[in-house]
Amino acid sequence: MVDSDQWAHRLLIVQDDIDHDDPPHEIIRGLTDFFTTAGRLVENYSTQQINDGLWFLSSPRCDLLYTLYDEQVDVALRLGCVEAIRAMYENLFAPHCRRIMSNGVETPPEEPLNSICYMWWDNFPSWGRPEEPYHRRIDSALLAVMRDNLAGKNIACVESGLHGLGHWHHNYPDQVETTIDDFLRTHRRLTPPLREYALAARGGHVL
């Protein structure tokens, strides 16, 4: 079994040396460990390396995240992996992203992690599969992570959650609209750009 340090090196540095023949349950365990310990990545890698690695992980070049929908893997393991994505937001993105929005910003922020934080759910290999009942538990868990992004103190993470919800609106309009309505109701002092973006996401109008 590949440990979390080896997974980090493979995903952030080597990239092309990803063994897609690993058993699906080992891939899920590896991803879970990687996300859970993501907050410690800055001890050994630059944020540019982490950003590039996470872009790779979520890109079509790397199909490891599709394993979240692999029915060969016990659903409890896959739900644990989804929960680990929450840990990545809390321990990596929240403390290390600049506290600014990325939507509509012409000049990229100096902190490269803002790039993948904003685009994580956009790149994610699924925007929901409601037509497949067996996958709805994974969808619900992913939507819950996006929902909880909205309670974060770093606006970059909040915007990321809204971005993801906006894309998932096509497949889960009721859940997305209810989630964003709750967000708007409980956050009365949003900046005008963030409120405008939340309203756009509520209707699925995000890029």
Q: Which pLDDT value is given to residue 1?
A: 52
Q: Which pLDDT value is given to residue 2?
A: 55
Measured between alpha carbons, how far is 145 from 147 in angstroms, rounded to an integer? 5
Q: Which pLDDT value is given to residue 106?
A: 61
pTM reported for the whole predicted model: 0.94
Q: What share of the chain is helix, strand, coil (3-state, %, to 5)?
A: 65, 0, 35
Q: Which pLDDT value is given to residue 6?
A: 83
Q: Which pLDDT value is given to residue 100?
A: 94
Q: Which pLDDT value is given to residue 199?
A: 98
Q: Which residues of the chain have pLDDT under 50?
A: none
